[in-house]
Amino acid sequence: MPYLFAVILGLATLTGCQSAYYSAMEQVGVHKRDIMVDRVEDANEAQQDAQEQFTSALDALKALNQFDGGELETAYNNVNDQYEASSDAADKVSERIAAIEDVADALFEEWQDELSLYTSDSLRRDSEQKLKSTQASYQRMLSAMHRAEQKMAPVLNTLRDNTLYLKHNLNAAAIGSLQGEFNSLQRDIQRAISDMEAAIAESERFISQLKRS
């Protein structure tokens, strides 16, 4: 049985067919709502990682702005590394959100379809009400996640611009000219972190709602 499941799961992964993946998982007792919870938690973790990474990038640029001697090349390389790591962290957040949307579509479609299977009107109405409230909570969470995702773009743009500028103008005068960029970046990072924290809080409310449904 474990071997068969591994084969099914492997084929689902290779073909990129999420419906086959969900079916394979259900065969071993892992349902769509379980996958949904896991993916929301993964997204929260990715957002927390992004917060930490953006803060590290800000610290690296701050250190460069306060440069008072030493190897400029080393300081620049650190800023560049932090930009690349920040870009990867933002991509991970986007991937996690997309994974949530995929399983949500499958979960809510299945839930809606199964309403017609009830013979009890009262149970069907109760399930339908829970579906609607869960969908509403999901939409609030998803909107919060997308707001946070959008706030990451200005951060990455500023980091990329700073990195490119320093790459071709690596001297004390160039570093001094980036002070205004640093202040702008600091504000953008604070906004992004604030929105990510709001998204995480909304995610926790959604998970609580889903577990009650």
On the question of pLDDT at 190 being above 80, the answer is yes
Residues 21 and 38 in one domain: no
Residues 99 and 163 in one domain: yes
Residues 26 and 38 in one domain: no
Model pLDDT for residues 96-151, shown as the tens digit of each residue = 999 999 999 999 999 999 999 999 999 999 999 999 999 999 999 999 999 999 99
Residues 114 and 196 in one domain: yes
pLDDT attached to residue 6: 52
pLDDT attached to residue 69: 65
DSSP string, 65-92: HT--SS-HHHHHHHHHHHHHHHHHHHHH
Question: Which range of residues forms the domain containing residue 96?
Answer: 32-212
- 18, 106 contact by CB (below 8 A): yes
pLDDT attached to residue 70: 67
User: Cα–Cα distance between 212 and 8 in angstroms, integer?
Assistant: 31
pLDDT attached to residue 1: 44
Q: Looking at this protein, which amino acid is placed at residue 190?
A: Q
Residues 96 and 177 in one domain: yes
Crossing angle of helices 121-168 and 32-65, rounded to 10°: 20
Residues 18 and 70 in one domain: no
User: Cα–Cα distance between 183 and 179 in angstroms, integer?
Assistant: 6
Residues 13 and 36 in one domain: no
Residues 37 and 79 in one domain: yes
Model pLDDT for residues 63-83, shown as the tens digit of each residue = 887 776 667 888 889 999 999
- 27, 165 contact by CB (below 8 A): no
Task: Please list, in sequence order, all residues whose beta carbon lies within 8 angstroms of the beta carbon of residue 128, skipping any fewer than 6 positions away.
Answer: 115
Q: What is the mean predicted confidence (pLDDT) over 188-199?
A: 95
On the question of pLDDT at 14 being above 70, the answer is no
Residues 135 and 180 in one domain: yes
Q: How many domains are contained in the chain?
A: 2
Burial classification of residue 186, based on how many CB atoms lie within 10 Å of its CB (0-12 exposed, 13-18 middle, 19 or more buried): middle
Residues 10 and 89 in one domain: no
Residues 6 and 101 in one domain: no
On the question of pLDDT at 16 being above 60, the answer is no
Residues 66 and 15 in one domain: no
On the question of pLDDT at 177 being above 90, the answer is no
